[in-house]
Amino acid sequence: MTVLLRAHHIEWDTDGEAVHGLPTNIAIEVDLRNQEGWTDINSQICNQLSDIVGYCVLDYQLEGFDIEADYALKIRNAER
């Protein structure tokens, strides 16, 4: 089973370098099949985030994510 989540409050490992414009939240897909616990899931999340941005992850938080609701919210905010 694959779930869509939003990683937010992401802290990137920039080795102390001041890097501007790094995203603080990203939608990700997590495959829960054949996972043997939180360590496997955490590795999958960190690898996916790192692949997207190019920096390793120090910390993040997760929440459920509904892509259709997110799109509707973006359209609504753009109309303002």
* DSSP symbol at 16: T
Q: Which of 29, 15, 24 is nearest to 65 (CA)?
A: 29
> In this predicted structure, what is the pLDDT of residue 77?
75
Q: What is the pLDDT of residues 13-68, one digit of tens each?
A: 998 888 899 999 999 998 888 888 888 999 999 999 999 999 999 999 998 867 67
Q: Quote the domain boundaries for residue 14.
A: 2-78
- pTM for the model stands at 0.76
Domain count, the chain: 1
Burial 24-61 (b: 16+ CB within 10 A, else e): eebebebeeeeeeeeeebeebbbebbeeeeebebeebe
